[in-house]
Structure 1
Amino acid sequence: MTRFTKKAAMFILSVAVMAGCKKDDNKNSSKSKTELLTSGSWKQTSIYFTPAVDWDLDGHTENEVINLYPPCSKDDLLTFKTNGTAVSDEGASKCDPSDPQVIETTNWKFSDNETKIMIGDPGAEETAQLLELSSTVLKVKITMVEAGVTYTETLTFGH
């Protein structure tokens, strides 16, 4: 599998963050999915591929690739706003000090009875299936086909 660029990875991250359907516990039962998703900024804690991919092109495949990211990318934030926009932010540290603080601003919305999140400009949205959404965890799944192989990317975020 071809290694994604940082911009592509951030876009996929944004897409993935925007889907959800699993309730956490009773303390979240009174909050809507929109309230949970927009309650603060999310930081990615896991990027898991099935089947495994050679993310770093070292000849070995990995399922979990978050540890292959540089520290300056691990603190990036994704914020969903109630107005339907999503902001990807560099976080506290930047890999390149000259980069803008905001990586990307795009649109988001729930679909399929709030079991999926669509992100991107109208007509060019990407879709992520929401696996879990609570006050502390956002977990989404994206399916993609590359070179005839179907990959599942599971992204987990926390506050």
Structure 2
Amino acid sequence: MKKITLLFALTVFALGFTACEKDDEEPEAPLSIKTQMLVNPSSWETAAIVLMDTETEEFYEIPEEFDLDCFNDNTLKFNKNGNFEASEGSDLCDDEEQTSTGTWKFNSSETKITFTDEEGPDEVEILELTEEDFIIASGETIPTEIGDLLIVIAFEAKE
């Protein structure tokens, strides 16, 4: 009789012990293809800054009076947790901080990205996104002789 009671007690203990195991964590949702393309390079490095006529979709060089050379060594890093880090490189523009951080998020159709940092949200349109190239329309314009032209920034993947 003692053997049956002891066996019963051990069985209850074993069942209770295994019932207290932690539940498996929920697997992470798979990343969309566009998210994978953004987060896979170690960072994106500025390749070119040009102006675009939104009506004709023609591209133009930036007039010399708008000195944007300080942007040429900037990099942008996307993390899959929705954070980003922008680095101004060694050639700082005006009194810019060396790095800025914040969050990023696609719109529902993954055609635009909203960056949010201490200055608030800023939305950009994605013109092209591949594993090697990332091109955005900044939403900001520069006045020229032919009208206001949109600033377009091209980035290249940096490993």
Which category of TM-score, normalised to the shorter sequence, fits these structures? 0.5 to 0.7
Instruction: Specify which structure has the bigger relative contact order, considering alpha-carbon pairs within 8 angstroms and separated by 6 or more residues.
Output: 1
* Segments ≥4 residues shifted beyond 2 Å: 50-58, 73-76, 99-102, 121-124, 142-147
Alpha carbons of structure 1 residues 38 and 80: separation in structure 2 relative to 1, 3 Å: same
Q: Deviations over 1:80-130 (max 9, x none)?
A: 111111101244xx237xx99951001100003111101114993111111
SS in 1 for 2:120: coil
Tell me which residue corresponds to 1:85: 83
1:132 aligned to 110, 128, 134, which one?
A: 128
SS in 2 for 1:37: helix
Partner letter of residue 69 of structure 1? D
TM-score, normalising length: structure 2: 0.58
SS in 2 for 1:83: coil
Indicate the larger mover: 135-144 or 43-52.
43-52
TM-score, normalising length: structure 1: 0.58
Counterparts of 2:141 and 2:73, CA distance in 1 = 28
Aligned length: 115
Tell me which residue corresponds to 2:140: 144
Tell me which residue corresponds to 1:32: 33
Q: Deviations over 1:32-67 (max 9, x none)?
A: 110100112000111111356875428xxxxxx7xx
Counterparts of 1:101 and 1:146, CA distance in 2 = 23
Specify the structure having the higher radius of gyration (Cα).
Answer: 2
SS in 1 for 2:109: coil
CA contact (8 A) 1:111 1:118 kept: yes
Tell me which residue corresponds to 1:156: 154
* Shift of residue 74, structure 1, vs aligned partner: 2.5
What RMSD over aligned residues (CA atoms) do the two structures have, in Å? 3.4
Counterparts of 1:123 and 1:75, CA distance in 2 = 22
* Shift of residue 75, structure 1, vs aligned partner: 2.6
